Chains A and B, each alone.
Chain A
Amino acid sequence: MELYEYSALELQKLLKAKKCSATELTQSVFARIDTVEPKLEAYITLTKDNALKQAAKIDDKFSKGENAGALAGIPIGIKDNICTDGVLTTCGSKILYNFVPPYDATVIEKLKAAGAVFTGKLNMDEFAMGSSCENSYYKKTHNPHDILRVPGGSSGGSAAAVAAGEAVLALGSDTGGSIRQPAALCGVVGLKPTYSTVSRYGLVAFASSLDQIGSFGRTVGDAALLYDAIKGYDSLDATSAAREYFNIADKLDGNVKGLKIGIPAEYFGEGVDSEIKLMVLKAAKELENLGAQLINISLPSTDYALSAYYIIACAEASSNLARFDGVKYGYRAENYENLVDMYERSRSEGFGTEVKRRIMLGTFVLSSGYYDAYYKKAKLTQNRIAAEFTAAFKECDIILTPTSPVTAFKIGDRFDDPLAMYAADICTVPVNIAGLPAVSLPCGKLSGLPVGMQLIGSKFSEQTILNAGFAYERSCGEYGNVAKI
């Protein structure tokens, strides 16, 4: 087995036992990148030189017996909407084609302190708007399990890289499913934490009240390990939760005896592929065999979630993306007659179609005369959806659903049909609306394409859902291997 194929937890043991060095590990990952990247196109920017420098420093610390950090020497990829000081950060957009942040996101500072090695910046749908990675200005990433298919989105690059061994771990962001859906399509583990548990300072905002940075790994333990390193209160983020945070990775014991698992009827309806439903229910049964109790529940407002989501997300996005105006950074049109012309040209030439569509929609729902009917209504609906989950969690501990209603579709299939694209989010969006934690983990393959199941928890219950995922993985999962390309 090559070094790049091991999980982070395994690599920690190998590094500690000096069976390999951080430099060797980094070189192994970059060799893998050299081999498969032409087919996958998961990366926008590779930072090999810096990575080797970081690895060398880690090896130095190891040799001196110093504490090198919880993730010392582990090669991690970063989604390209997370600001990295001195490293190009494009958000998959032309409008930031040359943007080099002068500061690190808080999660990057934390990972640096933990000794992580950064492999590069990963491809994504432009400004995190999309479910296929086809909305990136730079390239389309390919699914490692079938390179003619999409990896999912918007954190498509992150999911593909981890699935293919181009990174051991990766950071992504999730606003409506952007970590979980690509995790499902690429057969890896993707965790969207509880809203407010991971600092958003340095994450280029899409929808401020829904965005969260989360972790990708090939195993549940790995996803937990990365989450442990990035979670925590940040005084620079006013939405950050000031509470006690406990590490999870070392507490996974796979004991699900007595765990009540809610199966919501609304997530197993017409919109979801029947074979996927069967596979996910089979996984639920497996957990039942391990001692959990399955309970039928209902979340009647699920139907509203997609509408509420698009209104809230687009409204906030239209405001968050207004700062991209060609004045202070990023793309400025070459020819313009006056200020307004400069604004319009820079933004129209710099943004892609999907982004423009959402900005227009967001501007519309906030505009005078429409605010009450759309935005306000969506926010009230949000409260109702959240309340329903709260009530449901009185009857069960976690909720189990499919992650994606379909397996990876072919590149180009849904590109021109926004509604079809949005429908890919129906199982994931309600979770963001309610601010809950959820993890997607592999539970099988259909025609060689991965299927993911989603475990949703109540707020701050990452440990519960990860532990349930771990239980399943320990029992059934050989899905955590690097994909053969």
Chain B
Amino acid sequence: MEKEINIRRIAKLARLHVEEDEIERFERDMGAVVSMVEKLPDFEDNRIPLDEKDAMPFREDEVKPSMERARVLQNAPKTEAGCIVVPKIVE
């Protein structure tokens, strides 16, 4: 099992900023936890079965009133024209 963990790549995926001096610490901490994985047993059949008995009941296709916009957006850091504002995105 590969022991090398690319902290920078993971941080990017997770949208976390990691300082240079944190990288080594993260490598160490995560490396220690990842070694715990060595303890897991091996399995012959690698497929996770779907449990037919655990069937989920569906929701009926019925409309219920939406929440008033002011309440939906009440925690937004920045709003404008009834929307949430984020830095300008160039698509």
Report yes or no: A332 in contact with B40, Cβ–Cβ below 8 A: no
With A311-B37, A338-B87, A360-B10: A419-B17 Cβ-Cβ less than 8 Å: no
A379 at the interface (CB under 8 A from B): yes
Contact between B32 and A367 (Cβ–Cβ < 8 Å)? no
CB pair A359 B14 closer than 8 Å: yes
In this assembly, does B86 line the interface, its C-beta being within 8 Å of a C-beta of chain A?
A: yes
Residue from A99, A310, A356 in contact with B33 in the complex, judged by beta carbons closer than 8 Å: A310
Interface on chain A toward B: helix, strand, loop, or mixed SS?
A: helix
Interface size class of B (residues with CB under 8 A): 35 or more
Min CB–CB distance B48 → chain A (angstroms): 5
Interface SS of B by simple majority: loop
User: CA–CA, A378 to B1, complex, Å?
Assistant: 14
Contacts of A100 in B (CB 8 A): 74-75
Question: B53: CB under 8 A from chain A?
Answer: no
Cα–Cα distance between A303 and B84 once the two chains are bound (Å): 48
Would B40 and A304 count as touching, CB distance under 8 A? yes
User: Chain A contacts of B57 at CB under 8 A?
Assistant: 238, 242
A378 nearest CB across to chain B (Å): 7
Q: Does A446 contact B (CB under 8 A)?
A: no
Q: Shortest Cβ distance from A85 into chain B, in angstroms?
A: 10
Name the one of B5, B17, B29, B40 contacting A378, with C-beta atoms under 8 angstroms.
B40
Known: A372-B46, A419-B33. A364 touches B10 (CB 8 A): yes
In the complex, the answer to whether B67 meets A361 with C-beta atoms within 8 Å is no
Is A245 in the interface zone, CB < 8 Å from B? no
- A293 interface residue (CB < 8 Å to B): no
In the complex, how many residue pairs between chain A and chain B have their CB atoms under 8 Å apart?
Answer: 123
Q: Is the CB of B75 within 8 A of A304?
A: no
Q: In the bound complex, how far is the Cα of B26 from the Cα of A383, in angstroms? A: 30
- Please determine whether A340 and B40 come into contact, CB atoms closer than 8 angstroms: no
Q: Which of B15-51 contact A (CB under 8 A)?
A: 15-18, 26, 29-30, 32-34, 36-37, 39-41, 43, 46, 48
- Most chain A beta-carbon contacts within 10 A, residue among B16, B43, B67, B87: B16
Which residue of B15, B26, B41, B56 has the most chain A CB atoms within 10 A of its CB atom? B15
* A373 contacts the other chain (CB 8 A): yes
Complex CA gap A311/B39 in Å reads: 12
Please indicate the chain B residues that have their CB under 8 angstroms from the CB of A325 in the complex. 15
Q: How far is the CB of B36 from chain A (nearest CB, A)?
A: 4
Given contacts A235-B59, A342-B86, contact A418 B17 (CB under 8 A): no
Q: What's the minimum C-beta distance from A430 to chain B, rounded to whole angstroms?
A: 14
A332 and B46 contacting across the interface, CB-CB below 8 Å: no
Set B2, B15, B29, B87: member contacting A357, Cβ < 8 A: B29
Further 6 A-B residue pairs, CB within 8 A, beyond A345-B17, A377-B40? A238-B56, A322-B15, A363-B13, A381-B41, A384-B41, A418-B32
Report, nearest first, the 3 A-B pairs whose CB atoms are least far apart: A329-B75, A332-B77, A307-B36
Q: B residues near A, CB below 8 A? A: 1-2, 5, 7, 9-11, 13-18, 26, 29-30, 32-34, 36-37, 39-41, 43, 46, 48, 56-57, 59, 67, 71-72, 74-78, 84, 86-87, 89
Q: 14 A-B contacts, Cβ less than 8 Å apart?
A: A100-B74, A102-B75, A304-B41, A329-B75, A329-B76, A347-B14, A347-B17, A359-B16, A361-B30, A374-B34, A380-B48, A381-B40, A418-B29, A418-B33
